[in-house]
Amino acid sequence: MPVYFLRRVLAAIPVMLVVAVFVFLLLRLTPGDPAAVLAGDMATPEQLEQIRASLGLNDPLYVQFLRWMGDLLRGDFGTSLISNQPVLDLVADRMWPTIWIALITITLSVIVAVPMGVVAAWKHRSWIDHLVMTFSVLGFSIPVFVIGYLLIKLFALDLGLLPVQGYVAPSEDLPGFAARAVLPALTLASIYIALIARMTRASLLDVLGEDYVRTARAKGLAERRVLFRHALRNAAVPVMTVIGTGFALLISGVVVTESVYNIPGLGRLTVDSIFARDYPVIQALILLTSGIYVLVNLAIDLSYSFLDPRIRY
């Protein structure tokens, strides 16, 4: 296992390098000029040229790339072209709101969706199954911003139970943090509950038809033990994959939800940076996202061996 882990981590290095080259080139080949964003609408062509020169944007591409890679190797992600703040600080500030919301969302989703999926599979073709599937279809189909606005209307504006928007760190104000996290987590969870419940149901239905389940039942095991000990554990591998990739998706940015609830997370930072052509920030964010995907995939793969002892690395 440690060798496998090390091999996978080392294998991530060329992946990240390819991502870095690709992102760097893609950004430079896309129309857009950070100097124009920085200077504003009234800047003259001459002033734009001066700013471009001072930002190093007139240097040949390979010079810019080598400079960036050199800085990266020293752990320096550069400085935002627009706000002149260290990129690492910008990303770190915006990472925690996203991580907290993602953790709450995925926890809530698993707690609600897995039992829903199990019950739906167990009571296959019953009214419970139909109810779960209806919820699943709705969760997929209703855009998150609609769910978001409806929840705000009901719980914040009409009932006055929760704030409309915003984020405070849990260390500053835990009740305030919790109050502001409820609605965005519920909004995002609506999709993930639908997804995980559906996947759990489908996987479990496959497994429930297997011989070893019939044998377990024939041995007289309680239905709960059959479902959770024998069936669910074997059905968990694809569910775990969905949960893991869902978590990575949540971390890499949920722009619409962050906008609707005014959460200063990575999604908004990504969109703002792209619109502003803030190259160092975009590059750092995409590298971070790639790294998260690599790590999450590794974690998912490692979890397989715990869930299914037949899988060995």
Partner 1 sequence: MTAIWSGLRSGLAAATALTMTTVLPAFAETTITAVMHSGLRVLDPVITTAHITRDNAFMIFDTLVALDEDFVVQPQMASFEVSEDGLSYTFTLRDGLKWHDGGEVTPADCIASMKRWMQRDGGGQMIEARMESLEATGDNSFELTLTEPFPYTLEAMAKPSGLALFMMPERLASTPANEPIPEMIGSGPFKFVQDEFQPGVKVVYEKNEDYVPAEGPQSWFAGAKDVKVDRVEWVTMPDAQTSLNALMNGEIDFLEQVPVDLLPLLEGMPGLQNQVLAPLGYVTIGRMNFLHPPFDDPKIRQAAKLALSQEDVLTALIGNPDYFKVCGAIFGCDTPFEFSDGSESLTSGGDIEAAKALLEEAGYDGTPVVLMQPTDVVTLTAQPIVAAQALREAGFTVDMQPMDWQTLVTRRASQADPADGGWNLFFTNWIVPEVSNPLANIMLPGRGDDAWFGWPTDETMNGLLDDFASAAELEDQKAAAQQIQARVMENVNYIHLGQYFNPSAWSDSLTGITEAPFPVFWGVEKEG
CA distances from 268 to 60, 255, 263, 264 (A): 30, 6, 8, 7
- The residues facing 26 across adjacent strands are none
- Tell me if 92 contacts partner 1 by CB under 8 A: yes
Vertex 131, ends 237 and 192: CA angle to 5°? 40
If one counts every other C-beta atom within 10 angstroms of the C-beta of residue 178, the result is: 14
| Structural contact between residues 290 and 11, judged by C-beta atoms closer than 8 angstroms | no
Tell me the closest approach of the beta carbon of residue 189 to partner 1, in angstroms: 19
Residue 147 CB, nearest approach to partner 1 (Å): 14
Q: Is 272 in the site for partner 1 (CB under 8 A)?
A: yes
165 lies in the binding site for partner 1 (CB under 8 A) = yes
Q: Is 38 in the site for partner 1 (CB under 8 A)?
A: yes
SS3 category, 34: helix
Part in contact with partner 1 (CB under 8 A); list of ranges 17-25, 64-72, 169-177, 230-238: 169-177
Least distance (Å) between residue 75 CB and partner 1? 9
Using CB under 8 A as the binding rule, whether residue 149 contacts partner 1 is answered as yes
16 near partner 1, rule: CB under 8 A = no
Query: At 254, is the secondary structure helix, strand, or coil?
Result: coil
Give CA 101 to chain center in angstroms. 10
* CB 105 within 8 Å of CB 188: yes
Site string for partner 1, 242-261 (x = CB under 8 A): -----------------xxx
Number of other residues whose CB lies within 10 A of the CB of residue 108: 17
* 164 lies in the binding site for partner 1 (CB under 8 A): yes
Shortest distance, CB of residue 155 to partner 1, whole angstroms?
A: 11
Contact window for partner 1 (CB under 8 A) among 60-68, 150-158, 241-249, 287-295? 150-158
| Sole window of 106-114, 183-191, 236-244, 272-280 interacting with partner 1 (rule: CB under 8 A) | 272-280
Helices (H), the chain: 2-29, 34-39, 45-55, 61-73, 87-122, 127-141, 144-151, 174-208, 211-218, 223-225, 232-251, 255-260, 266-276, 279-307
For position 31 contacting partner 1 by CB under 8 A, the verdict is yes
How many Å apart are CA 264 and CA 114, to the nearest integer? 30
Total residues interacting with partner 1, rule: CB under 8 A: 61
Q: Is 262 in the site for partner 1 (CB under 8 A)?
A: yes
Instruction: Name the one range near partner 1 by CB under 8 A: 20-28, 123-131, 153-161, 193-201.
Output: 153-161
Question: Distance from CA of residue 241 to its chain's centroid?
Answer: 13
Map the footprint of partner 1 across residues 192-221, applying CB under 8 A: none
**Residue 80 engages partner 1 in binding (rule: CB under 8 A):** yes
The answer to the question of residue 170 lying near partner 1 (CB under 8 A) is: yes
CA separation for the pair 253, 110 (Å, rounded): 20
For partner 1, the binding residues (CB under 8 A) are 31-33, 36-48, 50-51, 53-54, 80, 82-85, 88-90, 92-96, 99-100, 149, 152, 156-157, 160, 163-166, 169-172, 174, 177, 259-262, 264, 268-269, 272, 275-277
